[in-house]
Amino acid sequence: MHKKIGIIGGGQLGKMSILEGKKLGLSFVILDPSSDCPASTIVDEQIVDNYFNEEKIKELADKTDILTFEFEHINADYLMRLESMGYKIYPSPSTLKMVQDKYQQKTFLNKHDIPTPRFMKVDSVKTITEAIKDFGLPLVLKSCTGGYDGKGNYLIRSHNEIELAYETLSKGSENLMVEEFVKFNMEISALVARDINGKMEIYPLAENIHKDNILIRTIVPARINKEIEKKAKALALKTMEHLKGVGVFCIEMFVSNDGDVLINEIAPRTHNSGHYTIEACRTSQFSQHLRAILELPLGSTELLKPAVMVNILGEEGFEGKTEVIGLEETLKIAECNVHIYGKKDTSGKRKMGHVTILEENLDKALEISDMVLNTLKVISS
Amino acid sequence: MHKKIGIIGGGQLGKMSILEGKKLGLSFVILDPSSDCPASTIVDEQIVDNYFNEEKIKELADKTDILTFEFEHINADYLMRLESMGYKIYPSPSTLKMVQDKYQQKTFLNKHDIPTPRFMKVDSVKTITEAIKDFGLPLVLKSCTGGYDGKGNYLIRSHNEIELAYETLSKGSENLMVEEFVKFNMEISALVARDINGKMEIYPLAENIHKDNILIRTIVPARINKEIEKKAKALALKTMEHLKGVGVFCIEMFVSNDGDVLINEIAPRTHNSGHYTIEACRTSQFSQHLRAILELPLGSTELLKPAVMVNILGEEGFEGKTEVIGLEETLKIAECNVHIYGKKDTSGKRKMGHVTILEENLDKALEISDMVLNTLKVISS
């Protein structure tokens, strides 16, 4: 087990993966353009270059036993070529390629009778206007590729906004789609691990609260009834099975007001809504991902204690050298597990850290999480 | 909180400290003679040199905001000089200096009415023979300084062994003592954290099982009655108070057949018998030590689940490149948390890793720990 793992990306997900992998004595090389990225100081070696540089991706693959990635907006075509040359890459580049394109992703899901919000391709103000006739308002305009944390999405609330929405998004991508706006009761997510032989383990469902399209709070277990839980878990497992994903994937879902469960989005990687697993579960999502791709037995996903996770985002209006305030007050709270990612610079809404609150009583955990959000802040100095 | 911490030593204790500190975004520099020591790949910078090189210790202090150490057999005199020059060093070098010498340590404890086994200085076969008249046989001959994991100890079982014992130990040190052999019922230890203002937090008592003077197994909570627990915790806290220790210390104790509690030894640092805290407690001993020396609030020591920790020692008869066997079988056991230190070379009884078993029922945890000891082994390839 002197395995060396190559990770494309060295952000907080890469960092937390390495912290877990080091417990098992694993080695890591990352490819990240920023020499002071969160994972930079705990990695055996870093290749400083951008994620699309094929020469550097090859160098990473040559230096390591297995290749993986911490985020999905990378060069899937080249990874497919590398895979055909015999390199081990998990999750599989062809799964990545399909998931990268939200239109293809949702088409794939529907083909396998997995429900999603209704959607269609659009390429002009005219086709968007026509879509409104079918799907009504509000309507979500999306870039098919490249979006995350609300980037690449535009919520069209009235006909007046169609033109601006189209102009805004068509600059970044000519590949656009619209999606019906689901009046959901709750957003939930399931982390599913799948190994090379198809064995799967699913984590407890997480309830997610977003603000401006960015995850703010995750509550585990999600406050849903048994029936919805069963339905959602079955859907998540079915999705993972069809995707033939290897590693940890996050399946984000809407629970509609009528109790229907629809797949919102798939992330072919560990996910912000799974950070709670580090302290709350027997096996963290990060160590689970490593087990899956290294052909080691998957670990138990048992929840040891209910948890609330809150994201610490850079305060708006502050840009520059990171300064964390309120750390002492937060560390005083017994239930809090504080994570600071170590990003040198902050900016408004940048993900700078998170806190996981372990507490039997979820109402109390939520109260504490409010306290934390009011106390622990990242500004610039 | 962009603090940089200097650690003298980069073994497994240093490694686990850094893994915890990185969660808070801290930076670390270590001084260790071995460029591939366990902490080497996760540290911001390593000074490769021996622990006694004053120039290098000064370099380490100059590069960091605060100095600490992961083991006690280091240059305390020079650290005292650095401290007098205004460098921040915790635990305090004068406490370290006193604890390093077991004779001074026990004299200090007795002076403060803290019970220990009876002991006296010896310097010849004759004085050892005389000591036997007082303390009886068996008798423990010890080097006052430098010993650990049974090194520097000799158990004299009969008069015939006196000469060999004296010859063996007097080679390494001329500073010898004898200690009465306590017929103990159980060995226990308490981790105590104390901050700069004297605030203390004590962890649940751990029951320790040694083999050939090396820790094999730790069981938490220790299987003792409330009365002994109360007595032992009070003694540990009293000891820490008198030591004015800052950081995490481990107080090892004997529980005699009569229910008396005696202090066996003090380690002025995080300790092998505290590894269980990583998964079983709200705050690990490593992150607690960092909180204490950085003047951050101490964390909760609450036990979330009972635990058994077993050490994975290098198999005897194997020396050379480390090879871990039985890892897959161990990872299959849901209750196991596996730690492999990443030492390049193994040798008989070298500490190569540990496994912490979290399980409500201690008997079941002990059964699992037997399985692990029979399965997970380190040999050489």
Domain layout of chain B by residue ranges: 4-89, 118-180, 184-380
Nearest-5° Cα angle at A60, A55 to A64: 145
User: Identity (one letter) of the amino acid at A374?
Assistant: N
Q: Let me know if A164 is exposed, middle or buried by CB neighbors in 10 A (0-12, 13-18, 19+).
A: exposed
Contact criterion met (CB < 8 Å) for A341 and B25: yes
- Minimal CA separation from A143 to chain B, in Å: 34
In angstroms, the CA B209 to CA B225 distance is 18
Q: How far is CA B190 from CA A323, B122, B254, B269, in A?
A: 36, 30, 11, 12
Q: Which two tokens stand for residue B190?
A: 């308490």
The answer to whether domain B4-89 has CATH 3.90.45.10 is no
Alpha helices (runs of H) in chain A, residue ranges in sequence order: 12-23, 54-63, 76-84, 93-100, 102-111, 125-135, 162-172, 226-243, 277-280, 285-293, 327-331, 362-375
**What backbone torsions phi and psi does residue A321 show, to the nearest 5 degrees?**
-60, 125
Helix (H, G, I), strand (E, B) or coil at B256: strand
Contact criterion met (CB < 8 Å) for B327 and A1: yes
Which residue of chain A comes nearest to B37, CA vs CA? A25
Which residue of chain A comes nearest to B25, CA vs CA? A342
Look up the ipTM and state it.
0.95
Contact criterion met (CB < 8 Å) for A297 and B331: yes
Which residues of chain B make contact with A334, given a CB cutoff of 8 A? 282, 299-300, 302
pLDDT at position A2 is 82
Residue by residue, pLDDT tens for chain A (381 residues) are 689 999 999 999 999 999 999 999 999 999 999 999 999 999 999 999 999 999 999 999 999 999 999 999 899 999 999 999 999 999 999 999 999 999 999 999 999 999 999 999 999 999 999 999 999 999 999 999 887 777 788 999 999 999 999 999 988 667 999 999 999 999 999 999 999 999 999 999 999 999 988 999 999 999 999 999 999 999 999 999 999 999 999 999 999 988 999 999 999 999 999 999 999 999 999 999 999 999 999 999 999 999 999 999 999 999 999 999 999 999 999 999 999 999 999 999 999 999 999 999 999 999 999 999 999 999 999
pLDDT tens digit sequence for B218-227: 999 999 999 9
Size of interface A-B (CB pairs under 8 A): 91
Which residue of chain B comes nearest to A352, CA vs CA? B25
Q: How far is CA A134 from CA A113, A127, A155, A263, B289, in A?
A: 21, 11, 16, 20, 61
Which residue of chain A comes nearest to B333, CA vs CA? A299
Distance of CA A157 to the CA centre of its chain: 26
Strand partners, B248: B193
CATH architecture of A184-380: 2-Layer Sandwich (3.30)
pLDDT at position A9 is 97
Nearest neighbour of A297 by CB, restricted to B42, B44, B332: B332
In angstroms, the CA A31 to CA A228 distance is 40
Give yes or no for residue B98 having a pLDDT over 80. yes
pLDDT at position B173 is 66
pLDDT at position B1 is 61
pLDDT at position A377 is 98
pLDDT tens digit sequence for B126-184: 999 999 999 999 999 999 988 777 778 899 999 999 999 999 998 866 799 999 999 99
Burial A198-210 (b: 16+ CB within 10 A, else e): eeebbbbbbbbee
With residue B155 as reference, give the H or E element that holds it: strand B153-156
Which residues of chain B make contact with A35, given a CB cutoff of 8 A? none
In angstroms, the CA A303 to CA A218 distance is 14
Annotated binding site of A: 102, 142, 179-182, 187, 210, 264-265
- Cβ–Cβ < 8 Å for B29, B298: no
pLDDT tens digit sequence for B272-327: 999 999 999 999 999 999 999 999 999 999 999 999 999 999 999 999 999 999 99
In angstroms, the CA A174 to CA A179 distance is 16
Q: Best interface-test mutation with A: which of B12, B22, B322 has the largest number of A CBs within 10 A?
A: B22
Residues in B whose CB is inside 8 Å of some CB of A read 1, 15, 18-19, 22-25, 27, 41-44, 282, 291, 296-297, 299-300, 302, 304-305, 324, 327-328, 331-332, 334-335, 337-342, 353, 358
Homologous superfamily, domain B118-180: ATP-grasp fold, A domain (3.30.1490.20)
Same fold, A118-180 and A184-380: no
Contact criterion met (CB < 8 Å) for B340 and A19: no
Annotated binding site of B for ATP: 102, 142, 179-182, 187, 210, 264-265
